[in-house]
Amino acid sequence: MKEEPPSISAQPEKLGLIQRIKSFFRNFHIRISFKPSNQEELTSVLRDAEENNLIDKGVLDMMEETIDFSSTPVKEVMVPKTQVISIKETEGLAEFLPRILESAHSRFPVFDEPQEKIKGILLAKDLLKFGPGLLGQDENINFDLSQILRPINFIPESKKINILLEEFKTNRSHMAAVVDEFGEISGIVTIEDVLEEIVGEIKDETDTSESEDIIQLTENEFNVSALTEIETFNDRFSSSFEATDFDTIGGIVLNAFGKIPLVNDSIEIQNFHFTVLAANKRQILKLRIKVLESISEELN
């Protein structure tokens, strides 16, 4: 007498691996056969796959970011104009060269004197043609900034970053100027900013290491990685944040906002004024903090 196959209503944990996989794909086929009508339904299917150990968490996160990729406007990933390291067309070589060397960036937008219009992009490598005399700021160097500027593309804040990525690839460019609805420059976006929306933050040899999570700017202002552990933050600033519910200072700030903040959003917590310098859809990445007067003397 032929045995009947296991009932499809049997408990999944009692089925063998093959039966569980078959069960998953059967349900998977049922769910996608209706053709997901929106991103939420598609994401739900992918999360089911992760729960059934068919894809790992890292792959799921990347796929979710990729799904969101097509609906993300440039405004959400650009660097605001106020935070851009730039050059004025009226500046001399001796004025902007130290800024270039300190930043270790490879491309710099060049503004007019009122800083309202971008004249072009300066590539750091284009300065190499001036030779060793450049570092010595040789007065005999015939240097004309306007002669080595590269053109820059202008894009609206509303452009979707998947379209921008294709334009970067087609034009073989790495930077674009972002304009608002009034035609004013609101920020700069690079190909790295776009790619980080899929793969997460990209660090290179010029980025600060974990040992440089707290960088002092002035007597009472600091740039701080949002991943700085609370204990480290407390030791540096003599603060009393508790590490009960959160491990990092970014978690403390995120909880205080009650939502994912935008770049330049700010909030005061205890004796600190926090401003968001970088964030994505899931977390705060970098903060600028201003130590308020009440504890500023203690740090000094």
pLDDT at residue 135, as a whole number: 55
In a domain, 115, yes or no: yes
- Is residue 121 located within the same domain as residue 215? no
Residues 162-221 pLDDT 10s: 899 889 989 888 999 999 988 899 999 999 888 877 666 655 545 544 446 888 888 889
Least confident of 29-43, 95-109, 179-193: 29-43
Rg (CA), the chain: 25
In a domain, 7, yes or no: no
- Per-residue pLDDT band at 224 (split at 50, 70, 90): very high
Domain with 45 in it: 14-69
- Per-residue pLDDT band at 158 (split at 50, 70, 90): very high
pLDDT at residue 52, as a whole number: 75
Q: Final residue of a domain: which of 178, 199, 220? A: 199
Structure tokens at 256: 């205080």
Q: Final residue of a domain: which of 136, 171, 199? A: 199
pLDDT at residue 58, as a whole number: 72
pLDDT at residue 275, as a whole number: 93
- Is residue 222 located within the same domain as residue 186? no
- Is residue 48 located within the same domain as residue 96? no
Query: Mean pLDDT in the chain?
Result: 78
pLDDT at residue 5, as a whole number: 47
- Is residue 25 located within the same domain as residue 138? no
- Give percent of the chain above pLDDT 90: 24
CB within 8 Å of 202: residues ≥ 6 apart: 192, 195, 196
pLDDT at residue 131, as a whole number: 63
pLDDT at residue 8, as a whole number: 45
Least confident of 62-71, 242-251, 261-270: 62-71
Q: Final residue of a domain: which of 199, 220, 241? A: 199
The count of domains in the chain is 3
User: Under DSSP, is residue 114 helix (H, G, I), strand (E, B) or coil?
Assistant: coil
In a domain, 3, yes or no: no
89-93, long-range: CB < 8 A, 24+ apart: 89/113, 89/119, 89/145, 89/146, 91/145, 93/134, 93/137, 93/141, 93/143, 93/145
22 vs 229, more confident: 229
